[in-house]
Chain A
């Protein structure tokens, strides 16, 4: 390591001190760190619910908690992980930090709106945490009516208020990104010179804008029904509970793309950096992000195949669900082609990226099983579905998130983390993850239903394997928490570009100054100009 690498004298972290300078900041980089703290806390709350669930599921009997409590545990786990961790994770942490930097801007278009967005997120989180403390909801994160709107006496109204509020936070972040990306790109930075991370954030923001409001109004109706006894989804009044499902899944299916597209954006950055090679098929990957965002709105009925939805509509949704896999597959092929004949190094961010590709592929392929009407009839509401979406959300999104956190850690903090521990954690996470969730495919196929805390004896071995895996996975998540916090203070200074990567964010110091760049950069080449004659990279390995 060069002895001349040092932390710059003034940067966004030390330009001002004190709680007020953080709580009233409009610097997108500080706001990203505010979000990081918040969602890390919430991740472990959601994780705690999962720990209790997996402990219960070690034995076939329902002996650790009662049925009602177990219902509250899986509901809490789903609500926290979906709305308070996965959806915000990459956009609010990595997106907030990087979007202005990657396009050569001084900040987002609306910095105060950005801060407001975080405060709104805090408000929603407090609501939801309060709900958990006073007894939670037992409806599942899906809030199906009429149970949620009429029959349950858990804290549905407060819970949907919390979710409504964070939905608004999400919308404001997406709005900020869309306007920023359209209007504030540096000179020379045309759309097709943008990093693919930006394309992914843009596509994600599109989905958030178009889908989240429908969730907001739908949950509001559930709350109104619960509060006033009016029956929009009440069969006694001629209401249709399936209408709730249509409106709910109109949002919630695109929501899963909100959760995975940003991680795909991260993976595109990691694969190029650690193969030191131009991305293969840049425009294919860029357009496939948009295609996923759009087609993702046409498939929601595949969550409702057994609900009473018309078979005709189900067939259309099934067919379209097959189509939506295509742009995802295009990305996987392009990443693989990028790796081919690349100069590959296996630093920890790359381990996460490679893990993503493999696990996302498994998750995606099993999604095709579920998209097939005939197969879905048998595996719907079983552990097969749970394994499918955890392969994508955890094997995919969370690994993408962790890969991104590690990759940009030196930019964010100016310091390097201990690589040995990072590799160790990545491998533990990979192993623990597969041990946790692969048995669940088998369990689901064999018929074990989801959301049950007792099960027939013959499923115990697989459940024990899964719980064992969960303990390893949990360890894998705790270790980075420790060494990353340690490295924030004691890590070796990283310099502006420790990875020797392309991208405007690496052209400024680590940590960056408050306004990101001393002078607005001018862009003259494509995004991943590795190994090309006009390569202009400062620093290096």
Chain B
């Protein structure tokens, strides 16, 4: 299944948005928003990554199988992080013996 040809202007638009988001994320870093700093930075990064995946990597025009493969990679990474953190964040929660 050859990919459909994406019009050039789409690429230019995506590029512009990516640069704008980069400026945004740097700008936000100069504001003191506590925990929101991290959340915003990650959200912006996720948006940028999605734009690159959907348009530059043609995911938007790809088969469902490709979606599932890409999704699986992301989900498994999230799982690695979440389950590992589940240890670190819960040490000392239960008063069991002396760890």
Residue of A298, A300, A309 ringed by the most chain B CB atoms within 10 A: A309
Q: Are B65 and A297 in contact (CB under 8 A)?
A: no
Interface band, chain B? 10 to 19
Q: Are A316 and B86 in contact (CB under 8 A)?
A: yes
Q: Are B87 and A210 in contact (CB under 8 A)?
A: no
Q: Are A310 and B80 in contact (CB under 8 A)?
A: no
Show the binding face of A for B, using Cβ within 8 Å.
182, 210, 214, 242-243, 246-247, 250, 297-298, 300-301, 308-313, 316
Q: Are B93 and A210 in contact (CB under 8 A)?
A: no
Q: Are B90 and A312 in contact (CB under 8 A)?
A: yes
Q: Of A182, A297, A309, which is within 8 A of B87 by CB?
A: A309
Q: Which of B56-99 contact A (CB under 8 A)?
A: 65, 72-73, 76, 79-80, 83-84, 86-88, 90-94, 96, 99
**B98 CB to closest chain A CB, in angstroms?**
11
Q: Are A246 and B84 in contact (CB under 8 A)?
A: yes
Q: Are A313 and B86 in contact (CB under 8 A)?
A: yes
Q: Are B93 and A312 in contact (CB under 8 A)?
A: yes
Q: Are B87 and A242 in contact (CB under 8 A)?
A: yes
A246-B87, A301-B87 known; A311-B96 Cβ under 8 A: yes
Across the interface, which residues of B come within 8 angstroms of A297, CB to CB? 76, 79
CA distance in complex: A298, B84 (Å): 10
Across the interface, which residues of A come within 8 angstroms of B93, CB to CB? 310-312
**B30 CB to closest chain A CB, in angstroms?**
28
Across the interface, which residues of B come within 8 angstroms of A300, CB to CB? 83
| Given A301-B83, A308-B99, 8 other A-B residues pairs in contact with their CB atoms under 8 A | A214-B80, A246-B87, A247-B84, A297-B76, A310-B88, A310-B92, A313-B83, A313-B87
Q: Are A310 and B91 in contact (CB under 8 A)?
A: yes
Across the interface, which residues of A come within 8 angstroms of B80, CB to CB? 214, 250
Main secondary structure, interface of A, reads helix
**B65 CB to closest chain A CB, in angstroms?**
7
CA distance in complex: A310, B91 (Å): 4
CA distance in complex: A301, B84 (Å): 9
CA distance in complex: A527, B92 (Å): 53
CA distance in complex: A302, B31 (Å): 43
Selected A-B contacts with CB under 8 Å, 5 pairs: A242-B87, A309-B87, A310-B94, A312-B86, A313-B87
Across the interface, which residues of B come within 8 angstroms of A313, CB to CB? 83, 86-87, 90
Residue of A298, A300, A310, A316 ringed by the most chain B CB atoms within 10 A: A310
**A316 CB to closest chain B CB, in angstroms?**
7
Across the interface, which residues of B come within 8 angstroms of A243, CB to CB? 84
A304's nearest neighbour on chain B, judged by CB, is B87
Across the interface, which residues of B come within 8 angstroms of A242, CB to CB? 87
Q: Are A210 and B84 in contact (CB under 8 A)?
A: no
Q: Of B83, B87, B88, B91, which is within 8 A of A298 by CB?
A: B83
CA distance in complex: A301, B86 (Å): 11
Q: Of B65, B72, B88, B94, which is within 8 A of A210 by CB?
A: B72
CA distance in complex: A298, B86 (Å): 12
A182-B65, A210-B76, A297-B79 known; A312-B94 Cβ under 8 A: yes
Residue of B76, B92, B96 ringed by the most chain A CB atoms within 10 A: B76
**A236 CB to closest chain B CB, in angstroms?**
19
Across the interface, which residues of B come within 8 angstroms of A214, CB to CB? 80
